[in-house]
Amino acid sequence: FHITGHPGNVGKRIEYKHLDIPSGADGQLGAGSSGVVKRVFHRLTKTYFAMKILQTENADSKQLVRELELSVDKLRHKHCKYLVTSYEAFFRTKKLCILMELMEYGSLADVLKVVKR
C-alpha cells in the first residue's frame, strides 16, 4: 500500500526498499503513545526524511485511521509551505510507516524552546 506525493527533488515514487531505516533507538527523533519518529535516508536521492512508525498490532484502529487520514490530507495540501509534507505511507510487518519531510530545526516546540532562551 502506498500513498504518494512528493516534490520535484524526489521526482517519483519512493520505494521502501531504498530507505535506510535505523534499528532500535538509533536515529530516533521523537516518540509518542502510538509510535516513534526516525530520521531515514533515501539512497537514490541522498535525501533525509522523517518516518513516523506506528505499531498496528494491538493498536486503536480509530487512531490509525486518523493518522492515515491526516497523511492523505497533507498530501492534498502538499504545496503549502507552512505544513509538513507527507510523501509516502507503507504498511510493513504490523507497522504503518509514514514518510514525511524532515524539519531541519525539529518541531515547532523545539524552535520555541530555543527562541525563548
Q: Write the CATH number for 60.
A: 3.30.200.20
CA distance 33 to 20: 24
Rounded to two decimals, the pTM is 0.72
Q: Please check whether residue 66 lies inside any domain of the structure.
A: yes
Per-residue pLDDT of the chain (117 residues; tens, 9 = 90+): 334 444 444 456 789 999 999 998 899 998 887 789 999 999 999 999 999 998 877 766 777 777 777 766 666 555 667 767 777 888 888 888 889 888 877 777 777 888 877
**Residue 2 falls inside a structural domain:** no
On whether residue 49 sits in a domain, the answer given is: yes
Within a domain: 8:
no
How many domains are contained in the chain? Answer: 1
- Is 70 inside any structural domain? yes
Phi, psi of 63 (to 5 degrees): -65, -40
52 is in an annotated binding site: yes
Q: Which residues contact 88 (CB under 8 A, 6 or more apart)?
A: 2, 3, 4, 6, 13, 14, 16, 98, 99
509514514: which residue's cell?
Answer: 98
The alpha carbon dihedral of 104, 93, 75, 59 has a sign of negative
What is d(CA 102, CA 31) in angstroms, rounded to the nearest whole number?
15
Domain that holds residue 106: 16-116
